[in-house]
Amino acid sequence: MTATLQWFGTATWRLEVHDTVIWLDAYINRSPAAPPLPYRADDVDRADYILIGHSHFDHIADAGLVAGNTGATVIGSELSCEIVRDEGIPAERTIVSSGGEELDLGPVRVTTFPSLHGFNGLKEWPDPQGRDRRARVAAMRASQPELAEASLAHMNNVPEKQRNDGGPLAYVLEWASFRLFWHDTPGMVRDSWKAAAARGPIDLALLSAAAAFSTPNIDGEPVDDGAVPFVTGMTSLLRPATVVMNHHDDWCPPVTFHLDEEHFRPGIEDQGSTLRVIGTGEIIALE
């Protein structure tokens, strides 16, 4: 069974298994300062299902638009489903999950797990130039003032409901002999990750390590050493053949910056997994 996966930056992916298209998050119309994506949310012409990891705008913003244009069914927390219903998606095309459900979506069996959000604003990580958010904003305002203001407005003008996480979910997607793990914010519930691994060997784990302003969260405790030990810890529980990072890109400059994947390679390889680095818009074959 042929399957492909395409990265749309942040934690948004387009998964196609045989003839079924499943979006993992739906944040496509990003800040004008972010690196461009292959196309706009308005141009998405195929989606059978949209899985939402959590309800923040940088995960759900375009789910209602895409579901409205394609007829897709949206799966997510109560709040995530409410957000797309508010945008006109009929209730029968939403499936509320609180973690623990199994769903058959075409050829793909999806299992949901309770997860956690990273701690936003608890601690700020300096970018590779040693700058904090304030310094990055000042630099961009000086060099590209209009772009800086447009990008900051993009982040600030968010619908109220999309400022709440709604209770994050993690997902395992299985088809043929392939098993994919995905979550979309740097938080982990140990029991959920163990249960995900207990389903069988994970071929690919899409692991979140939001840079800049999010401190990783394990069972409600902050990981003060940052994203690297957090990703290593997730890898040791999941034991995936391959790890691909997500939510580590420069999705809303000047607030964000790209966190170099190579920081994570030694910890991931110590666990016997392979780190694969892919770029925004890139399509990879899964087999």
Q: Which stretch binds Zn ion (CB under 5 A): 13-21, 140-148, 182-190, 239-247?
A: 182-190
Q: Nearer Cβ to Zn ion, position 56 or 136?
A: 56
Nearest position to Zn ion, beta carbon: 56
Nearest distance from C-beta of residue 8 to Zn ion, angstroms = 16
Rounded to whole angstroms, how far apart are CA atoms 244 and 6? 12
Residues 251-280 that bind Zn ion (CB under 5 A): none
Q: Which stretch binds Zn ion (CB under 5 A): 52-60, 75-83, 232-240, 264-272?
A: 52-60
Q: Nearer Cβ to Zn ion, position 48 or 184?
A: 184
Nearest distance from C-beta of residue 120 to Zn ion, angstroms = 7
Q: Nearer Cβ to Zn ion, position 144 or 164?
A: 164
The residue count of the chain comes to 287
Rounded to whole angstroms, how far apart are CA atoms 164 and 204? 28
Q: Nearer Cβ to Zn ion, position 97 or 185?
A: 185
Nearest distance from C-beta of residue 55 to Zn ion, angstroms = 8
Q: Nearer Cβ to Zn ion, position 112 or 185?
A: 185
Number of alpha carbons in the 13 Å side-chain half-sphere of residue 101: 13
**b/e code 59-74 from CB counts within 10 Å (16+ = b):** bbbbbbbbbebbebbb
Nearest distance from C-beta of residue 208 to Zn ion, angstroms = 9
Residues 197-236 that bind Zn ion (CB under 5 A): none
CB 75 within 8 A of CB 51: yes
Q: Nearer Cβ to Zn ion, position 17 or 259?
A: 259
Rounded to the nearest 5 degrees, what angle is found at the Cα of 204, between the Cα atoms of 228 and 181?
85
Rounded to whole angstroms, how far apart are CA atoms 280 and 8? 6
183 binds Zn ion (CB under 5 A): no
DSSP symbol at 42: G
Q: Nearer Cβ to Zn ion, position 136 or 247?
A: 247
Nearest distance from C-beta of residue 283 to Zn ion, angstroms = 25
Nearest distance from C-beta of residue 121 to Zn ion, angstroms = 12
Residues 123-152 that bind Zn ion (CB under 5 A): none
Nearest distance from C-beta of residue 212 to Zn ion, angstroms = 12
Rounded to whole angstroms, how far apart are CA atoms 6 and 13? 5
CA-CA distances (angstroms) from residue 126 to 57, 90, 210, 257? 24, 43, 13, 9
Q: Site for Zn ion (CB under 5 A): which residue of 14, 30, 56, 133?
A: 56
CB 188 within 8 A of CB 133: no
Rounded to whole angstroms, how far apart are CA atoms 36 and 129? 23
Q: Beta strands 221-222 and 242-246: pairing type?
A: unpaired
Q: Nearer Cβ to Zn ion, position 76 or 267?
A: 76
Nearest distance from C-beta of residue 107 to Zn ion, angstroms = 30
| Contact residues: Zn ion, CB under 5 A | 56, 185
